Every structure is written in C-alpha cells, then in structure tokens.
Amino acid sequence: MHIKKRNSVRTAYELEDLCKNILDANNWKVIDQNNELGKEIDIIAQEPTGQSKVAFEIKYTRNTTYPTSALKASAIRLVNDARLMNIEKAVLIVAADIKQEIQLIVENEYNIQVINLDGLISLASIDLELLGRLSNLCEVDLSNRKLQSNINGILNPKKIDLSSEGSGPSQNEINGAELKEKLNSIQPGREDCYHYEDTMENILRYLFDGDLKGWQRQKRTTDDLHRYDLICRVVDKSTMWKFVSSNLDSRYILFEFKNHKDKICQSQVYSTEKYLFEKAKRKVCFLISRKGPSDNALVACQGAMREHGKLIINLDDKIIIDLIDSKISGNDPNETLFKEIDDFLMKLPR
C-alpha cells in the first residue's frame, strides 16, 4: 500500500487484511510474501484456476470519489512493481467510487483491472461477516449500493505486457522526489528562511493544488498590521476540506512557515493566532516548522481551539515527508492531513 508511515493509517492496514480474507473467501489463494522479493505489492494471489499469479494494490480514502491523479499514479506503480516481479496480471482495488469513464481510461491505458467500492462490496457479499466488516471499515450504507449478482465474473484481470521495460518513474514521482531533496537540503535558520518558504509553497501546491485555490504569498491585512506567509481558499471536493469549510467554518486556510533550528515556542503560536478571525471565515492555520512544537506551544494551540475555536495544526519535516511520500505512492495526502486534525481534536483537553 506504500503508506507504511505513522500517520497513514491503521484503517489502510485493516482494509488490506480484509481484502486478503475476501479473496480467500472467493477461492483465490493468497500467497505469503515473506519469501517474495517484491515488498511493494500489497497482495499476491493465485487465480482460482491456479493458472496465474495476480498483483493487487489496495487503496483507501475517506473521499467518496478517488482522485483521478492518484488513481493514475497508483496504476503506474502497480504495473511497474508487477513487471519487476514478473507477475503478468494486476488489479487495483479502490475502496471508493470512481467515475466510469476514468476507470475505463485507466484500465485500457495500463492494462490492469480496477475494482471500485461497489465491486469490492459485491466480492465481500459472499460472506455476511466480511460484508459487515467492510461496511464498518469504510463507513458505507449498503442500502445505497449496487451489488453484482455474478460474483465469479467480477475479478477478471488482463495480462500485462511483460516484454516492455515499463514506463519508468512518473512525473508525479519525479516531482515528489525533487521536492523532498530540496527540503532536506535547506538548513534551519534565518539565512535560509525565504528559500524554505518558497520550497514549502511548492510542496503545498504539489500536494493540494486541486483542493486549495487562490494561493497568495506575503498577503497583508488592510490595516497593514499582519502579514500571512500563505493564504488559500478551500475547494469543497474532498472529505478533508469539506470538514474544514463546513464543520470548522473556515473557507480560507493560512500556512505559516518557521525555518527554526529549535522547536517553535508558545509566543509564536500566540502571534499566529492573531491572524485567525471567525467573521472572515479564517479559522484554520497549519503552522509548519522543521522540528514541530514545544510542549508549551502545543498547550497554546489547544487553548486557541478550546477557548476561541481557532484550529492551529503543527506540521514538521517528518509529516511533510509523509505527505509527499503519500502523493508519490498514488495515495491521497488528505488522508494524512485529516489524521493530524483528527488526533488533535480527539486529544483536546477540557
């Protein structure tokens, strides 16, 4: 699943294990990968006929529809990984809805089979216990779903052209790797602060360009008292950003960048909090620093939310790298970001 990071996430592992059980219930033989060279493939299973091994990639998202860019990136990586292991068939299972025309384009372009959420539910329907687990895990209402009656005909992958050398790294992978390299090359401290700001803006555009619009750097308020490092407008396309705009009542998002050698302190949180303003629909800020917040800074963030409803989420280098790796792997980086917000709000003390 290519997301073996601390933020990304227990649900994805559970879905992978559940898919193994679903395949097994449908008479596919799941192969133990301890003796396999390729560890990037989520599941390797043998067809019920016993003729071919098939590589499976499993994708989870809270979004009702899987992002097209992530779908294509996942397909490229799956095909390349399958070729490296000399596996001639591949299936991409996505626990979300996919536009039919996009699904057909991806299947025809990469010669793989794509199974969407309806297909996965249909496969799980062979066993009520599996169906219940899938429904709970994906938080899906089964009454609104179209189950396929011919379960045996759902999984029918085509053969990949193993004679091809593959497409090589995608532009998405190349861009992500370059951004990680740039971030790691920047030295913490005042001298590189503008280089850090430029790089972070490029990283955020790479990660969230479809979710945030109206990017403006060094924006001042009309009274000329405050200057934001970066401000954006939310596009209500994904579950993550719908939550921010609707539940947190913030149509605009601030990003503050701190290229400090040490963890940020309490006073820096207080100065950031002044930029947030409820009536301007500007109540959420991501405070991005090299080493994250000190204990006192985290207490200040909790106080801002508890007392004024202002959400300040801290992101450090490790989380930023996790986000980039998620995008490279064809996952949705919004999942990692949502996990940070979820953890913060669930642990918020009274």
- With vertex at residue 206, the alpha carbon angle to CA 200 and CA 208, rounded to the nearest 5 degrees, is 95
Determine the Cα–Cα distance for residues 332 and 253; give it in Å rounded to an integer: 19
- pLDDT, tens digit (0-9, with 9 covering 90-100), for 285-341: 999 999 999 999 999 999 999 999 999 999 999 999 999 999 998 888 998 899 899
pLDDT at 313: 97
Q: What's the length of the chain?
A: 350
CATH class of 187-346: alpha beta
Contact indicator for 8, 343 with CB cutoff of 8 Å: no
Instruction: Write out the two tokens for 255.
Output: 């990003």
The secondary element (H helix, E strand) that includes residue 229 is: strand 227-234
Q: Does residue 79 surpass a pLDDT of 60?
A: yes
Residues 6+ apart with CB under 8 A from 238: 62, 63, 67, 211, 332, 334
pLDDT at 112: 95
139-165 tens-digit pLDDT: 888 888 888 888 888 999 988 877 655
Q: Which pLDDT belongs to residue 4?
A: 40
Cα angle 315-319-325, degrees, rounded to a multiple of 5: 145
Return the higher-pLDDT residue of 12 and 193: 193
**What average pLDDT is seen over the chain?**
88
CB 94 within 8 A of CB 116: yes
Residue with the larger pLDDT of the pair 149 and 119: 119
pLDDT score of 168: 67
Give the per-residue pLDDT at 166.
54
Helix/strand/coil percent split, the chain, to 5: 45, 20, 35
Cα 87 from Cα 31, distance rounded (Å)? 13
Domains 10-153 and 187-346 in one fold: yes
Confidence at residue 176, expressed as pLDDT on a 0 to 100 scale? 94
How far is it, in rounded angstroms, from Cα 322 to Cα 337? 10
DSSP class of 254: E
Quick one: pLDDT at residue 6?
42
Query: Domain segments of the chain: what residues?
Result: 10-153, 187-346
Query: What's the one-letter identity of residue 98?
Result: I
Query: With a threshold of 0.85, does the pTM exceed it?
Result: no
Token pair 């503050």 in the structure block, residue: 256
- Residue 203 CA to residue 178 CA, distance in Å, equals 10
Radius of gyration of the chain (CA): 22
The answer to whether 325 touches 175, Cβ cutoff 8 Å, is: no
Mean pLDDT of 85-110: 92
At the second CATH level, the architecture of 10-153 is 3-Layer(aba) Sandwich (3.40)
In the chain, the N- to C-terminal Cα span, in Å, equals 37
- Residue 111, pLDDT above cutoff 60: yes
